[in-house]
Amino acid sequence: MKWLGYGARALALILLLLLLLDTELFAPILAGLNDNGAPAVYRQGSLLFLSLSHLGLVAVSTFIGGALALLAGIFVTRPAGAEFLPLSRTIVNIGQTFPPIAVLAIAVPSLGFGAEPTLLALTLYGLLPIFENTMAGLKSVPATALDAARGMGMTGWQRLTKVELPLALPVILTGIRLSFVVNLGTATIGSTVGAKSLGEVIMAGITTTNTAYILQGGIIVALLAVLIYDALGSLERSLAKRTGTAGAR
């Protein structure tokens, strides 16, 4: 079964590389999806460039959102910040429930067109899973480990950085993984405000009723999501084994 998993990953990676580097190879297959005489293969821009730009938007927004959510999660699990938990949870929930397209509409007048409003929308949308998993991970640290750290004379900061965060890291990474993959799909809306992303291919297909374009953009996004989700999952399992928390998850 393990070899089947490796084979599926290899096939997905090969298909992704072919779509990005040799799109013309799929022209005969995609030609049947067009009934308006339009090209079957997207040639208005480089799919590789759009994919890298798409990944860049998601990576930057996940980094910013992850830093904010991590700091907030740490703060509300400290005695001094416990009373701010309801407020913090309300804020991150708003980021998840408020439609990203609405954030774009509000942000464009002040930030202009391009990557900036898209980064804002993705950052807000990705806060919730990282925030909740940060709290869950920190709260799951065994009391015996904390007691041992106190017995060694560690300060609160040392306990956090040397005991709590390392033990909570696999759970936190799960939240980062979910946030990243969800935003991979959400980032396609960035093309509506001029951000370079794979949404450009999908929107071109929608506006010209070209199913082949829509399929190309959608498959590339899906393959990126599957491969990155799997890679981050492997990293998460490796960290869980190193910290001894694999059996508890």
Are 41 and 27 in contact by the 8 Å Cβ rule? The answer is: yes
Region of 153 on the Ramachandran plot (φ > 0 left; ψ -120 to 50 alpha; else beta) = left
Q: Residues 98-124: what's their mean pLDDT?
A: 88
- In the 8-state DSSP scheme, what is residue 38? -
C-alpha pair distances (Å), 73 with each of 92, 133, 221: 11, 8, 30
135 vs 36, more confident: 135
pLDDT tens-digit map of 113-172: 888 999 999 999 999 999 999 999 999 998 898 889 888 888 888 999 999 999 999 899
C-alpha pair distances (Å), 148 with each of 153, 154, 156, 160, 246: 9, 9, 13, 13, 21
Q: Exposed (0-12), middle (13-18) or buried (19+): which is 146, by Cβ within 10 Å? A: middle
What is the C-alpha to C-alpha distance for residues 185 and 100, in angstroms, rounded to an integer? Answer: 12
- In the 8-state DSSP scheme, what is residue 28? H
- Specify the range with the lowest mean pLDDT, choosing from 38-42, 89-93, 204-208, 215-219: 38-42
Q: How many domains does the chain have?
A: 1
Label residue 72 by pLDDT band (50, 70, 90): very high
Kindly state whether residue 2 falls inside one of the protein's structural domains. no
CATH code of the domain covering residue 62: 1.10.3720.10
Kindly state whether residue 77 falls inside one of the protein's structural domains. yes
By residue range, what is the domain housing residue 122? 42-248
- Within 13 Å, how many C-alpha atoms sit on residue 237's CB side? 5
What is the C-alpha to C-alpha distance for residues 213 and 31, in angstroms, rounded to an integer? Answer: 11
What is the C-alpha to C-alpha distance for residues 183 and 177, in angstroms, rounded to an integer? Answer: 10
Label residue 76 by pLDDT band (50, 70, 90): very high
Label residue 25 by pLDDT band (50, 70, 90): confident
C-alpha pair distances (Å), 168 with each of 140, 141, 142, 162, 165: 7, 7, 10, 11, 5
Kindly state whether residue 24 falls inside one of the protein's structural domains. no
Are 189 and 245 in contact by the 8 Å Cβ rule? The answer is: no
H/E segment holding residue 174: helix 165-186
Q: Is the pLDDT of residue 205 over 80?
A: yes
Kindly state whether residue 17 falls inside one of the protein's structural domains. no
Q: Which residues of 152-168 are buried (b: 16+ CB within 10 A; e: fewer)?
A: eebeeeebbeebbbbbb
Return the pLDDT at 52: 94
CA nearest to 221, candidates 8, 19, 26, 10: 19
Label residue 77 by pLDDT band (50, 70, 90): very high
Kindly state whether residue 230 falls inside one of the protein's structural domains. yes
Kindly state whether residue 232 falls inside one of the protein's structural domains. yes
Kindly state whether residue 9 falls inside one of the protein's structural domains. no
Q: Does the pTM exceed 0.95?
A: no
Kindly state whether residue 206 falls inside one of the protein's structural domains. yes
